Amino acid sequence: MEHWKEIVPVDRYIVHAADLLHDYDRKIVSLLYQPLIGMKAFSLYMTLWSELEQNRLWSEESSHYSLMALLQTNLKDIYQERLKLEGIGLLKTFVKSDGDLRSYIYELQAPLSPRAFFTDGVLNVYLYNRLGKSKFFKLKQFFSDNEADLDSYKPITKAFNEVFASVNVSQMISTIGDEMNSNLEREQNTEFMDRSQEKKLLIENESFDFELFFAGISEVMIPKKSITPKVKEAITKLSFLYGINPVEMQGIVMSALDPNEKIDIEQLRKASRDWYQFETGNELPSLTERIQPLPNQTMVTKVPQTKEEELIQKLERISPKEFLIDVSGGAQPSVSELKIIEDVMFRQNLLPGVVNVLLYYVMLKSDMRLTKSYVETIASNWARLDIKTVKDAMETAKKHNWNADKKATKYKRQPIRKELLPDWLKQDEEGTQVQAPKKEKTQDSSFEEKKRLFEERLKKNNK
C-alpha cells in the first residue's frame, strides 16, 4: 500500500494526549526510545507533542503540509516514522473520512516508566544490544536511585479517617440537591487530565501456535492452570523476541516451573535468553523491521501476473532472516550472516525487501556464500541510489548489469556463468536478453533445478 493512498498533504490532523505528559517523559523518550526508533521518529513525536499547549490535551487542527514544513521532510517519511511510533506504543492513530477529505487524530501515549522499561523483557534487551554494556549500564544508573531499607523503620502514617471527620447534617451549609449532584459530575464532552497505569508494550505474535504448544505437553508436565494470562503474555513476547517455536518453548516453560506448579516469569525470561544464546553463540537479538514496510510494498494489493511479480511479492512478504532459512532448506543462518544483514539494514539504511534482492543476487553469484565486504560494496551503491522497493532493486540490477561490483577487483571470485543468473538479471549492456550457450545444456538444467527448488521454498514460506 503506497503512502499516498493512506495520507496526502491536505489531510487534516489533531494531536491528542491520551496521558498527561510530564517533562521527565522527554528524557525517557530521548534516552531509552530514540536508540530504538531513530532520530526521525523521535523528532516526529516531539513535534506533535509541541503542538499541544501547556497542560492541554488537544491541539488546534493542522494540515499534513504544515507538518512537512515543520519537519522539513516528505510525507512518505512522516508516514513511515509514524508507523514506528505506533508499533513501539508511543502513538495511536484514528481516521475519519468525509468524501475525499480525511481527518486524523494522533493520540500521543506516555512512554513506559523506567521501571517498566528496564523490566519489560523485550525493549530492554533490544536497547542493551543497540547501546552496548557500558552505555546501557550508565542509563540504568541514571534512571535508578538507592533503595531505602525500611525494615528497620516503623510505619506511623495516619489514615484519612484518623485525621479528618465528616461534618454533621446540621453543620452543612447547603443541602444536597440536583444542582450539587450536577456540579459533582463530569461535564458532557469533556475529560479530566489523567495518567493511565499499567502501560505495557503490545506484541501480537500471531505466528506462535498455542494449540500446538498445549498439544505437546500433558497436564502432569505443565498444568494448564500454570499458564496464567501474564505467563501467556510473557510466552508471546519471548517467542517474538528470540524466535522460539511452540515445541522449543515447551521445554523452556518446564524449566521455569517451580515446586508449587507456578511459572516464574523471571526464570522463564532467563531460560529463554540462555536458550537463544546457546543456539546463536552468546549473541542477543536485534530490533529490525521484520518484513518490507507496507508503504514500500508494490504487490500488497495486486495479484501476480508474471513470474517476476510472484518473486517480488515473495521477497516483500518475508524477512531477510526467513529468506536465508528458506534458501538453506530450513537451516538457521549463522551469527555472522545475521550480523551482515543487520549492518546492511541499519548502516546503509536498506529496507528488508531490498536486502532480500541483494541476498538473492549475491548467493546465486557466489555459490550460496555471503561475504561481508562483497555485500557491503553492493549495499553502499544501492544506498546512494536510494533504492526503497523490491521492484526498484530488481530494475537497478537490470539497468546497470552489476557493473559497479564487477569493477571491485579485490572481491573477484571464480567466473560466474551468465546462465547462472535469474531471468531478471540476464541482460547485456544494451538491455537485450542473453541466451545461454547451447553446449551448456547440462549445466543450465542443473541451475534451473536449483532455481526451481529455490523458488519452491520461498513459495512454501509465502503460503
- Taking only the tens place, the pLDDT of each residue in 11-29 is 999 999 888 888 889 999 9
Query: Which amino acid type is present at position 298?
Result: T
Q: Is the pLDDT of residue 32 over 90?
A: yes
d(C-alpha 232, C-alpha 133), whole Å: 30
Q: Which residues of 63-77 are buried (b: 16+ CB within 10 A; e: fewer)?
A: ebeebeebbeeebeb
Q: How far is CA 163 from CA 155, 158, 160, 235, 390, in A?
A: 16, 7, 5, 47, 70
pLDDT the model gives residue 239: 80
Which residues are registered as beta bridge partners of 93? 106
Q: Which residues contact 196 (CB under 8 A, 6 or more apart)?
A: 18, 19, 110
Helix axes 265-280, 229-242, angle to 10 degrees: 20
> What would the pLDDT profile of 238-258 be if each residue is shown by its tens digit?
887 777 888 888 888 888 888
223 near 261, Cβ under 8 Å?
A: yes
What pLDDT sits at residue 434?
41
Q: In whole angstroms, what is the distance from residue 452 CA to residue 449 CA? A: 5
How far apart CA 61 and CA 13 sit, in angstroms, is 6
Residue with cell 538457521: 332
Place of cell 509541541: 50
Instruction: Encode pLDDT of 43-63 as tens digits.
Output: 999 999 999 876 678 889 999
> What pLDDT, on the 0 to 100 scale, is given for residue 444?
52
The percent of residues in the chain predicted with pLDDT above 90, rounded, is 14
Sequential DSSP letters for 189-201: T-------SS---
Q: Which three cell numbers stand for residue 438?
A: 547451447
Pairing state of beta strands 62-63 and 12-17? antiparallel
Across the range 380-392, mean pLDDT stands at: 85
Could you tell me if 118 and 140 are in contact, meaning their C-beta atoms sit under 8 angstroms apart?
yes
- Digit-coded pLDDT (tens) for 158-199: 877 778 766 555 555 555 555 555 555 655 666 555 555 555
pLDDT at 235 over 80: yes
H or E, element range at 184: helix 178-184
Q: How high is the mean pLDDT of the chain?
A: 75
How much is the average pLDDT of 206-214? Answer: 73
**pTM (two decimals):** 0.52
Phi-psi region of 7 (alpha: psi -120 to 50; beta: other; left: phi over 0): beta
Q: Which residues fall within 8 angstroms of residue 1, CB to CB, at 6 or more apart?
A: 294, 295, 297, 300, 301
Compute the distance between CA of residue 430 and CA of residue 416 in angstroms, rounded to an integer: 20
- Calculate the alpha carbon distances from 450 to 247, 323, 421, 455, 457 in Å: 31, 15, 11, 9, 11
- pLDDT higher than threshold 80 for residue 343: no
User: CA 249, 250, 251 angle in degrees (round to 5)?
Assistant: 95
Spacing of C-alpha 210 from chain mean position: 22
Distance CA 77, CA 134 (A): 32
Residue 440: predicted pLDDT? 45
Backbone angles phi, psi at 421, to 5 degrees: -85, 145
Run of H or E residues at 142: helix 133-142
| Region 400-412 average pLDDT | 46
Q: Which of 462, 299, 327, 311 lies closest to 397 in space, CA to CA?
A: 311
DSSP 69-92: HHHTS-HHHHHHHHHHHHHTTSEE
pLDDT in tens, 99-151: 778 899 999 999 998 888 888 878 888 888 888 888 999 998 899 888 778 78
Tell me: pLDDT of 261 over 90.
no
Helices (H), 352-440: 352-365, 372-384, 390-400, 403-406
Return the residue matching grid coordinates 494489493.
301
Query: Can you tell me the distance from the alpha carbon of 373 to that of 388, in angstroms, rounded to the nearest whole number?
Result: 22
Cα dihedral 273, 274, 275, 276 sign: positive
Distances, alpha carbon 146 to alpha carbons 106, 141, 149, 395, 406, in Å: 38, 10, 9, 59, 60
Q: Are 216 and 253 in contact (CB under 8 A)?
A: no
